[in-house]
Amino acid sequence: MGRLLRGFKYELHTHWKEVLQAYRATAACETPHRSVSHLDWDLLYTRYEDLAYQAYCDKASQSRSRLTMMHYGGSKSFAQYQYELRDIKTGQLSGRIDVYPRTHHRTMGEWVFETRERHVSIK
């Protein structure tokens, strides 16, 4: 569900950029995306034009570009994974080496990018 929402938000933002470049600001406001009502498009257009929102997007883009490796842990924190992988009998939390494969595997069990080599080298 989250992936669908993220994709839809991306599609809306891309539509706004394309219309803005092609027709200028006035037409962008009057040309809503096919899946959005005029009222909702006006709200989105206002949000996209907001300088604070644009600064937020720029900062997020810069942060995302600095990532050295992707992980597939979702919205859970590493501490939550560590807690879930703990030893039930003793309550001992698992170490980073045990958490690493859990957060760097895809759902099909394959490693994400070059993370397998890193895991082997730290183990």
Domain count, the chain: 2
Whether the model pTM is above 0.85: no
Q: Of the candidates 4, 54, 47, which has an alpha carbon nearest to the alpha carbon of residue 28?
A: 47
Same-domain pairing of 91 and 38: no
| Structure confidence at residue 88 (pLDDT) | 73
**What CA–CA distances, in Å, run from 67 to 16, 17, 58, 89?**
27, 25, 15, 37
Could you tell me if residue 24 is inside a domain? yes
Domain that holds residue 48: 2-65
Could you tell me if residue 45 is inside a domain? yes
Range in 40-49, 51-60, 98-107, 108-117 the model is least confident about? 108-117
Rg (CA), the chain: 21
| Structure confidence at residue 52 (pLDDT) | 94
| Structure confidence at residue 56 (pLDDT) | 92
